């Protein structure tokens, strides 16, 4: 019952912070409240403070710059924190899944599990909370029923009922409060997938080493696999070498292609990179999935795998150089930043794949390690106000910045654009300059109209 009361009070605070409000300070406050409640009311012996601090940091970044990306990163940190709170020793990918599962429907899952476990118990015996809910529902129905009867029997009572004004009750507010109640109920009474945690703990990062010598029949099979893998990786390495030669031509002779073709070549390089990396990891996982790791004659296949990884690293470097030259010439965009982020993740994936082959690691090792790396990269990327960073770079580093693109970003860059438009060297037409001024004025008005729940870093750091 204490958990229901705490969840209801939290739901009321949730509606106070979020009902008819935009994202800002409320996101940070509700995050702090969630961490404090789990710390004080939770029944866990260990508390995942590192993940709690990462979650609070991401919530602070939402307060600093409440963009869609920052909110997404904060939700990812929340899922990870909840998962680590429920299963401290679980893998990161499982923790994120468990966190999402709990926030979306822990009560329903717990109820289904409880009903399943109570099948063998005496029928008719209900938990105390269920008894109170059942009694309250019946009392409300009977209250309305007899009220209608008494209304027909007494005109004074009828007038009194008619004078009752229930217009102050807002259905959207009630729904918002219920959402807050449900979220905190799921946090304070989480679902614990014990079976999943046990299966995850049983998965080793190391491949099981054979305890005895391979029989002749298995050796013949391993030799066949080694021959097939050698041919496949050899052919793919040869293909990638030719592709890199054409990429080198693009780097040495950029004048042979137009800007649009150069842009397409960057993105095509990324698509080719995605395909080649997926192929590399899939092929390496297939051939080095088991006994072939311990086959004494696998040196040639390993060398081809290492060559494949090295060639993909060169492809990453070439694509990064092309993207950097494109940014230097035409400025930053979200898509070009995304290319850099993806290339970074690819390098991480290649490094873990190399470690998997050298140290004879399992697929679970790749999954666990890469999940941690992706999560860390997401948190680092969320620490930057990208709209203002893109705008600042393009206005200061590009001779002819794309103003149309910059105005398509969030209005938080309005001040930068307005100040740039007032400079004589900007050479912006009067109509465009007036449009940027109107955009800045509208931004100032929208920020001044924010309630305290919607405050962002801008309200605390106002500049004249």
Q: Give, in order, the Cα–Cα distances in Å from 309 to each of 104, 241, 283, 284.
A: 40, 12, 12, 10
Count of positions (residues) in the chain = 464
Q: Which residues contact 310 (CB under 8 A, 6 or more apart)?
A: none
The predicted pLDDT at position 445 comes to 92
Spell out a b/e string for 132-157, using b for 16 or more CB atoms within 10 Å of the CB, else e: eeeeeeeeeeeeeeeeeeeeeeeeee
What values do phi and psi take at 335, rounded to 5?
-65, -40
**Nearest residue to 339 (alpha-carbon basis) of 292, 386, 271, 388:** 271
Cα–Cα distance for residue pair 299/140, rounded to 1 Å: 77
Q: Residue 206 forms beta bridges with which residues?
A: 361
Q: Which residues contact 339 (CB under 8 A, 6 or more apart)?
A: 266, 267, 270, 319, 320, 323
365: tokens are: 């090792």
The answer to whether the CB of 300 falls within 8 A of the CB of 364 is no
What values do phi and psi take at 186, rounded to 5?
-65, -35
The predicted pLDDT at position 161 comes to 67
Cα–Cα distance for residue pair 352/361, rounded to 1 Å: 9
The answer to whether the CB of 176 falls within 8 A of the CB of 19 is yes
pLDDT in tens, the chain (464 residues): 678 888 999 999 999 999 999 999 999 999 999 999 999 987 677 899 999 999 999 999 999 999 999 999 999 999 999 999 999 999 999 999 999 999 988 877 877 777 776 655 544 545 666 676 677 778 878 877 777 777 777 777 777 767 766 555 678 888 999 999 999 999 999 999 999 999 999 999 998 877 677 777 778 887 888 888 889 889 989 988 998 898 788 778 766 555 556 666 666 666 667 777 777 778 788 888 777 777 777 888 889 999 989 998 998 898 888 888 889 988 999 989 998 998 999 899 999 999 998 998 988 999 999 999 999 999 999 999 999 999 999 999 998 899 999 999 999 999 999 999 998 888 888 899 999 999 999 999 998 899 999 999 888 776 54
Rounded to the nearest angstrom, the gap between the alpha carbon of residue 184 and the centroid of all alpha carbons in its chain is: 20
**Nearest residue to 341 (alpha-carbon basis) of 307, 311, 368, 380:** 380
Rounded to the nearest angstrom, the gap between the alpha carbon of residue 279 and the centroid of all alpha carbons in its chain is: 25
CA torsion angle 36 40 43 49 (round to 10): 50
The answer to whether the CB of 356 falls within 8 A of the CB of 327 is no
Radius of gyration of the chain (CA): 30
Kindly report the pTM of this predicted structure. 0.86
The answer to whether the CB of 459 falls within 8 A of the CB of 31 is no
**Nearest residue to 133 (alpha-carbon basis) of 221, 4, 20:** 4
DSSP state of 361: B
**Nearest residue to 420 (alpha-carbon basis) of 430, 410, 433, 411:** 433
Q: Give, in order, the Cα–Cα distances in Å from 321 to each of 328, 337, 339.
A: 10, 13, 11
Q: What angle do CA 442, 445, 21 make, to 5 degrees?
A: 110
The answer to whether the CB of 111 falls within 8 A of the CB of 90 is no
């Amino acid at each position: 019952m204490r958990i229901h009361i705490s969840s209801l009070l939290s739901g009321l605070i949730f509606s106070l912070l979020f009902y008819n409000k935009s994202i800002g300070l409320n996101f940070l406050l509700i995050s702090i409240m969630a961490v404090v409640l789990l710390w004080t009311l939770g029944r866990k012996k260990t508390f995942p403070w590192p993940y709690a601090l990462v979650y609070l940091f991401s919530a602070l970044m939402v307060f600093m710059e409440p963009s869609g990306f920052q909110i997404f990163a904060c939700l990812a940190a929340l899922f990870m924190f909840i998962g680590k709170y429920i299963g401290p020793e679980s893998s990161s990918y499982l923790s994120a899944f468990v966190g999402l599962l709990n926030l979306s429907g822990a009560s329903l899952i717990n109820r289904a599990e409880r009903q399943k476990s109570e099948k063998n118990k005496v029928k008719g015996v209900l938990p105390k909370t269920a008894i109170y809910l059942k009694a309250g529902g019946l009392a409300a129905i009977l209250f309305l029923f007899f009220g209608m009867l008494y209304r027909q029997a007494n005109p004074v009572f009828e007038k009194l009922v008619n004078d009752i004004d229930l217009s102050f009750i807002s259905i959207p507010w009630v729904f918002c409060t219920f959402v807050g109640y449900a979220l905190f109920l799921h946090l304070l009474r989480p679902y614990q997938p014990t079976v999943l945690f046990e299966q995850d703990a049983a998965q080793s990062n190391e491949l099981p080493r054979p305890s005895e010598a391979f029989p002749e029949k298995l050796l013949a099979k391993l030799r066949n696999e080694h021959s097939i893998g050698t041919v496949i990786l050899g052919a793919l390495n040869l293909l990638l070498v030719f592709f890199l030669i054409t990429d080198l031509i693009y780097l040495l002779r950029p004048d042979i292609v137009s800007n649009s073709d150069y842009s397409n070549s960057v993105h095509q390089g990324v698509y080719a990179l995605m395909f080649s990396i997926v192929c590399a990891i899939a092929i390496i996982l297939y051939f080095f999935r088991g006994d072939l790791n311990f086959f004494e004659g696998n040196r040639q296949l390993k060398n081809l795998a290492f060559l494949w990884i090295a060639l993909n690293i060169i492809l990453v470097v070439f694509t990064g150089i092309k993207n950097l030259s494109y940014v230097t010439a035409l400025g930053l965009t979200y898509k070009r930043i995304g290319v850099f982020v993806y290339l970074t993740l690819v390098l991480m994936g290649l490094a873990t794949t190399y470690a998997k082959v050298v140290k004879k690691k399992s697929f679970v090792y790749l999954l666990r390690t890469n999940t941690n790396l992706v999560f860390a990269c997401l948190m680092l990327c969320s620490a930057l106000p990208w709209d203002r960073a893109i705008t600042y770079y393009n206005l200061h580093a590009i001779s002819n910045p794309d103003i149309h693109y910059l105005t398509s970003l969030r209005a938080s860059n309005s001040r930068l654009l307005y100040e740039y438009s007032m400079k004589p060297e900007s050479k912006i037409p009067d109509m465009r300059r007036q449009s940027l001024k109107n955009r800045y004025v509208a931004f100032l008005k929208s920020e001044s109209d924010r309630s305290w729940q919607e405050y962002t870093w801008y309200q605390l750091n106002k500049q004249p």
